[in-house]
């Protein structure tokens, strides 16, 4: 309890002190406050993972009832995840925000909002009173909105922020409906009342309740079709805010799904199949759109949707394991999902940090305008490369470990007769597609950004990112390599949150120590990959040293008899993925603009611009929006500016409020007469 009070005090003091500090001290001061709060929350998280978590009940008030604060192993896992990325992003943000000096008020609001986002994320993992939880959820939405619209002078950024805010409140609508349904019957706002509600009602009611909660949390997590805020909010926000949104805020949606899963008693097999196929569709759809993006941050946003899909596959597999009472499926499903949530938080924040370095060095995010940055930004290029290898699931990085666990669970599930084999084969096929297309995505992103020649003159020389930006990137990379090279440590830690799900199985089906059983294979593969990397590095070293004493000649690249601009003769992003684009074009929505040329010696310049668009967003957002505009446009004649019409509206309104009660009373009398007969 003392730690939580200290957390609140640090938040209050930092919020009050920030406006009075000199501008150049606000970033470092906020970073120190973030680190202090992270240490306190991290200590609570470690206590939860070790079995000494918090279980406190406060008096509350007449509205909320008793206020329950709990930190168990699941809360502990997400507290550590949230606060590690919050700290590295704050460290990065101190250096990143120096480019905006002179905007004192905006910077103050930015850091205050950042502190409140961290606090709301932390308390969302601790508070288990539904009314207070919704209040924390609302604070998180508003504070994140302020972070997204930092450059509010730009119309597209303001639109992105409003889009996020609207969808965040759609999440609140579904969660409020579910929580009020529980409270109406049980009279309690405690999370544990959800279990009492499900016990007192038929299983179909529990399934409906779970579905409502899943939709509410899916808006935050980014499952398709509730994902449409991510591709707009991520490019609009500063790089460290994008890292927090992708690496942390989406994970609080995953936390909510897992937390309520422990309480809602439903048909786990049916619900698990639903989540499994939602994960497959989310992952495949997200990576398909990521490949076609030209904006590097938008590409990373769709890649976040892809990785939420992978996490969803793990959750679905674990739920099927609960339904079929099979410990292997439960352990590897939920274990892989929990570890992938952490892994995605790490490598995606690293990639967003790299994109932020590129943006501040070139003032561009369009891949078609980049290229050749490895020559001027070699350290950033290497860090981005390692993040790309991790997100593609290649050893010895952390992404391989969590995906391997999910693969093991799916393979083990094929030996269980009670599980439909086509379901698991579909998940295996989906994971394989996601992995292959992720490699294509980040080959394109890395190649177009850092390799080749510049495709457009920047007007200035791009500079390597300073140490203040590279330090949090290196800390994140160190955490990624630790998981990849020593998976047994994290698999052992995962036993604590995993035990919360395993107790839902019958005692005869529970089997402890399933995850560490796979650590030997994972360690062997990881160290085998390290050996391969060392061998390749040795060959490269020898190759560079042997001809080093020989004179080297340089010259212009041979252009097959043509002399032209080398930058324009490279692959563009569109041409690089042309074969894939042609293959999936019927399933996606591509907008193209052509400027054709004619004649043997054309004088003009030909141009083909293609812009991918989210088909789900077009169907579920754009078309209903257009219908709404069309419907209300038909009633514009009512607001015609004529005072005589407005007087007439008043007369009609008075007549209505006089006639309706008479009509209602008459209808009641008629029903009484009919009831006598």
Q: What is the average pLDDT across 185-208?
A: 88
Find the farthest-apart pair of alpha carbons in the chain and give their distance in angstroms, rounded: 113
Q: CA-to-CA distance for 347 and 345, rounded, in angstroms?
A: 6
Q: Torsion-angle region of residue 372: left (phi > 0), alpha (psi -120 to 50) or beta? A: left
**Cα(305)–Cα(294) distance, rounded to whole angstroms?**
17
Q: Tens digits of per-residue pLDDT, 524-553?
A: 777 777 788 788 788 877 877 776 667 777
Match 């981005």 to its residue by tokens: 384
User: Does the pLDDT value for residue 670 go beyond 50?
Assistant: no
Q: What mean pLDDT value characterizes the chain?
A: 86
Residue 235 maps to a domain: yes
102 and 155 share a domain?
yes
Considering the domain architecture, whether residues 50 and 73 belong to the same structural domain is answered as: yes
Q: Tell whether 328 is covered by a domain.
A: yes
580 or 672: which carries more pLDDT confidence? 580
> Helix/strand/coil (H, E, C) string of 613-664?
ECHHHHHHHHHHHHHHHHHHHCCHHHCCCCHHHHHHHHHHHHHHHHHHHHHH
- Residues 266 and 360 both lie in one domain: yes
For residue 602, tell me if it sits in a domain: yes
Q: Are residues 152 and 231 in the same domain?
A: yes
Element (H, E) at 589: strand 589-595
Domain closes at, from 532, 556, 576? 532
Q: Are 300 and 441 in contact (CB under 8 A)?
A: no
Q: Is residue 283 included in any domain, yes or no?
A: yes
> In this structure, is residue 280 part of a structural domain?
yes
Q: Is the overall model pTM greater than 0.75, yes or no?
A: yes
Q: Which of 532, 560, 577 is the last residue of a domain?
A: 532
- Specify whether 311 is located in the same domain as 198: yes
Q: What is the mean pLDDT of residues 315-324?
A: 91
One domain for residues 205 and 314: yes
Q: Are strands 589-595 and 65-70 parallel, antiparallel or unpaired?
A: unpaired
The answer on pLDDT for 190 being more than 60 is yes
pLDDT at 674 over 50: no
Q: What percent of the chain has pLDDT over 90?
A: 50
90-127 residue pLDDT tens: 999 999 999 998 888 899 999 999 999 999 999 999 99
Q: Are residues 466 and 615 in the same domain?
A: no
Helices (H), 546-614: 573-576, 578-584
How is 141-194 classified by DSSP, letter by letter? HHHHHHHHTTTTTSHHHHHHHHHHHHHHHHHHHHHHHHHHHHHHHH---BTTHH
Percent of the chain having pLDDT more than 70? 89
State whether 640 and 624 are in the same domain.
no
Compute φ and ψ for 466, nearest 5 degrees: -75, 170
CA distance 348 to 132: 30
* Pick from 165-179, 307-321, 327-341, 568-582: least confident: 568-582
Contact 189, 147 (CB under 8 A): no
Q: For 399-418, write each residue's pLDDT tens digit.
A: 999 999 999 889 888 877 65
Average pLDDT over residues 229-233: 92
Least confident of 204-218, 447-461, 508-522: 508-522
pLDDT of 671 > 60? The answer is: no
In a domain, 561, yes or no: no
Kindly state whether residue 65 falls inside one of the protein's structural domains: yes
Q: Are residues 382 and 498 in the same domain?
A: yes
CA atoms within 13 A on the CB side of 278: 23
Q: Do 422 and 516 sit in the same domain of this protein?
A: yes
Q: Which residues are within 8 A (CB) of 671 and not within 5 positions of it... i.e. 6 or more apart? A: none
DSSP conformational letter for 197:
H
Considering the domain boundaries, does residue 323 fall inside one? yes
Rounded (5°) CA angle 160-164-166? 115
| Cβ-Cβ contacts under 8 Å for 636 (sequence gap 6 or more) | none
Residues 255 and 649: their CA atoms lie apart, in Å, by 51
Give, in degrees to the nearest 5, the angle at Cα 114 between 82 and 98: 115
Please indicate, yes or no, whether residues 622 and 642 belong to a single structural domain of this protein.
Answer: no
Q: Which helix (H) or strand (E) holds 288?
A: helix 268-292
The mean per-residue pLDDT over the stretch 354-368 comes to 92
Angle at CA of residue 413, ends 411 and 414, nearest 5°: 70
Residue 62 DSSP label: T
What is the structure's pLDDT at 187?
Answer: 87
| Domain span at 339 | 2-532
Look at residue 595 in the predicted model and tell me its pLDDT.
62
Question: Is the pLDDT reported for residue 75 higher than 90?
Answer: yes
* Cα–Cα distance, 271 to 196 (Å, whole number): 19
Same domain? 420 vs 499: yes
Angle separating helix axes 296-324 and 421-450, nearest 10 degrees = 160
Give the pairing of strands 589-595 and 607-613.
antiparallel
User: Distance between terminal CA atoms of the chain?
Assistant: 67
Q: How many domains are contained in the chain?
A: 3
Note the pLDDT of residue 596.
Answer: 63
Q: How confident is the model at residue 241 (pLDDT cuts 50, 70, 90)?
A: very high
Question: How far is 313 from 306, CA to CA, in rounded Å?
Answer: 11
């Amino acid at each position: 309890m003392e730690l939580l009070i200290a957390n609140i005090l640090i938040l209050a003091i930092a919020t009050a002190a920030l406006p009075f500090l000199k501008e150049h001290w606000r970033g470092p001061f906020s970073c120190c406050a973030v680190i202090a709060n992270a240490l306190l929350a991290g200590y609570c998280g470690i206590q939860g993972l070790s079995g000494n978590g918090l279980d406190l009940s406060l008096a509350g008030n007449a509205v909320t009832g008793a206020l329950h604060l709990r930190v168990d192993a699941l809360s502990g896992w997400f507290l550590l995840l949230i606060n590690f990325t919050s700290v590295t992003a704050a460290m990065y943000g101190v250096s990143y925000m120096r480019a905006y000096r002179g905007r004192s008020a905006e910077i103050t609001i930015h850091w205050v909002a950042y502190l409140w986002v961290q606090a709301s994320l932390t308390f969302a993992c601790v508070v288990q009173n539904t009314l207070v939880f919704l209040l924390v959820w609302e604070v998180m939405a508003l504070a994140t909105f302020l972070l997204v619209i930092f450059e509010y002078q730009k119309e597209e950024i303001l639109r992105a922020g409003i889009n996020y805010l609207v969808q965040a409140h759609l999440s609140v609508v579904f969660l409020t409906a579910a929580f009020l349904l529980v409270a109406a019957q049980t009279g309690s706002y405690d999370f544990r009342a959800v279990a009492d509600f499900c016990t007192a009602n038929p299983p179909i009611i529990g399934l409906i309740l779970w579905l409502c909660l899943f939709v509410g949390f899916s808006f935050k997590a980014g499952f398709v079709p509730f994902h449409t805020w991510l591709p707009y909010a991520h490019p609009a926000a500063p790089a460290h805010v994008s890292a927090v949104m992708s690496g942390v805020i989406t994970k609080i949606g995953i936390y909510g799904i897992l937390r309520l899963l422990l309480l809602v008693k439903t048909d786990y097999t049916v619900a698990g199949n639903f989540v499994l196929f939602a994960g497959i569709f989310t992952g495949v759809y997200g990576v398909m759109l990521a490949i076609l993006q030209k904006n590097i941050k938008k590409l990373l946003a769709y890649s976040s949707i892809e990785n939420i899909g992978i996490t969803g596959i793990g959750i679905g597999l674990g739920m099927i394991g609960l339904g079929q009472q099979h410990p292997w499926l439960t352990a590897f499903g939920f274990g892989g999902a929990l570890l992938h949530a952490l892994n995605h938080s790490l490598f995606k924040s690293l990639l967003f940090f790299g994109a932020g370095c590129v943006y501040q060095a070139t003032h561009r995010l369009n891949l078609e305008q980049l290229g050749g940055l490895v020559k001027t930004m070699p350290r950033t290029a290497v860090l981005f490369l390692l993040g790309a290898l991790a997100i593609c699931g290649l050893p010895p990085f952390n992404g391989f470990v969590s995906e391997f666990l999910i693969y093991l669970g799916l393979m083990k599930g094929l030996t269980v007769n009670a599980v439909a084999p086509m379901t698991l084969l579909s998940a295996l096929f989906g994971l394989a597609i996601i992995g292959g297309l992720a490699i294509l995505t980040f080959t394109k992103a890395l190649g177009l950004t850092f390799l080749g020649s510049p495709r457009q003159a920047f007007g200035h020389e791009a500079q390597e990112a300073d140490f203040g930006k590279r330090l949090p990137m290196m800390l994140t990379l160190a955490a990624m390599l630790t998981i990849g090279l020593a998976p047994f440590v994290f698999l052992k830690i995962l036993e604590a949150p995993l035990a919360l799900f395993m107790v839902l199985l019958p005692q005869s089906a529970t089997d402890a120590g399933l995850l560490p059983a796979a650590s030997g294979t994972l360690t062997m593969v990881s160290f085998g990959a390290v050996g391969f990397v060392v061998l390749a590095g040795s060959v490269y070293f020898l190759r560079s040293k042997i001809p080093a004493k020989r004179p080297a000649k340089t010259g212009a690249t041979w252009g097959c008899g043509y002399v032209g601009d080398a930058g324009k003769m490279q692959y563009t992003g569109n041409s690089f993925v042309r074969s894939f684009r042609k293959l999936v074009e019927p399933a996606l929505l591509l907008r193209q603009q052509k400027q054709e040329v004619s004649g043997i010696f054309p004088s003009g310049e030909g141009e083909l611009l293609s812009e991918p668009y989210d088909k789900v967003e077009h169907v579920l957002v754009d078309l209903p929006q257009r219908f709404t505009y069309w419907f209300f446009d038909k009633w514009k004649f009512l607001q015609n500016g004529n005072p005589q019409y407005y007087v007439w509206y008043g007369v009609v309104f008075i007549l209505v409020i006089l006639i309706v009660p008479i009509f209602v009373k008459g209808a009641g009398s008629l029903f009484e007469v009919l009831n006598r007969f």
